[in-house]
Copies of this chain bind each other. A is one copy, B any other.
Amino acid sequence: MPRHPTAAAGRRLLTMFLAVAVLSVFVFAAAAAAAAEMVEAAVVEDAPSPHILPRPLVIELPTSTSSSLSSPALTSSAEVVDDDVPVEVRCASWRLAGEANNLAPWKSLPPECAAYVRDYLTGVAYRSDLELVAREASAYAHSTAAGDARDAWVFDVDETLLSNLPYYADHGYGLELFDHREFDKWVERGEAPAIPSSLKLYNEVRELGFKTFLLTGRSEGHEGVTVDNLNKQGFHDWDKLILRAPADRKKTATIYKSEKRKEMEEEGYRILGNSGDQWSDLLGFSTSARSFKLPNPMYYIP
């Protein structure tokens, strides 16, 4: 907390002034682009020729790190039409495509989106997105609970119950390639904060009588630190914490998690809800009656 309110207020005013100045320039550019766009939209577009563009980076996926966002700049064709789209809009499209499961596997952020993703995660939008998903999940939980001890809700851990934002803040918010050893060191500190809207949902579904299964890609070796971290952050009394055994290590998350959900079904549970920040938490087989995709533009797990 700031110790000198007057100095803090001054800094805040300065920040606001700078934001206005910077954003005004952007607004001018955007307005000009929008004007150009309107003129362009007035011209009925011809059908594009079916000529197939060379798209080396796109076809190299999933090892490409920058996905299709880079391809327009790498082609020489006049058919590429999004040179007039501001970078913020392109990056918003990229984030949306990820959340809608439209992207091919990716290993790190498109470099041009590093600042956009940082601003999204550290601003109000990420929190708002998390809260809306939690509210939808909560409304559904209230409407669907049968209350007969067979109801089950599955929660992923990282970026679902706990946030690794402090780690990713030090590693470019997904711009750097994932480093297992560095990330393990962070996990072993046991200091990942709770995502507040997820903690609220967790407590609500428990109050409604759902069995709560925590299904994580973390390895069994991290069981102790994960239990401690969850408890310290207010998560208590789950029914089962399932971590990745050595035998699961080579499976994709989709397969590993589907197999574990299948076991829950075989034990008689009815999986009504599933919350996760990766599509691999939610898809596959033995899927939940309804799934809730929490936002995560930092990394992709197949």
Contact = CB atoms under 8 A, between A and B. Distances in A.
Interface of A: 1-2, 12, 15-16, 19-20, 23-24, 27-28, 30-35, 37, 39, 42-45, 47-50, 52, 55, 58-59, 61, 67-69, 71, 79, 81-82, 84-86, 89-90, 92-94, 96-97, 99-104, 123-125, 127-129, 131-133, 135-140, 142-143, 193-194, 196, 199-200, 203-204, 206-208, 233-234, 291-293, 295
Nearest to A69: B132
A31 B58 contact: no
A68 B100 contact: no
A58 B291 contact: no
Central interface residue in A42, A125, A292, by most chain B CB within 10 Å:
A125
A204 B50 contact: yes
A48 B139 contact: no
Contacts of A199: 47-48
Enumerate the 8 nearest inter-chain pairs by beta-carbon distance, A residue then B residue, closest first: A47-B234, A50-B203, A58-B139, A16-B31, A93-B132, A12-B35, A100-B293, A19-B31
A174 B72 CA distance: 32
Nearest to A8: B39
Nearest to A99: B100
Total copies of this chain within the assembly: 2
A282 to B, nearest CB: 9
Contact of A82 (B43, B128, B193): B128
Contacts of A50: 200, 203-204, 206-207
Given A71-B135, A104-B139, 19 more contacts: A19-B27, A20-B24, A20-B28, A23-B24, A24-B27, A27-B27, A44-B193, A45-B196, A50-B200, A58-B142, A71-B139, A81-B131, A84-B124, A85-B124, A97-B132, A99-B100, A100-B293, A102-B137, A103-B136
9 contacts: A1-B43, A16-B28, A55-B142, A59-B142, A61-B143, A85-B127, A85-B131, A96-B96, A102-B133
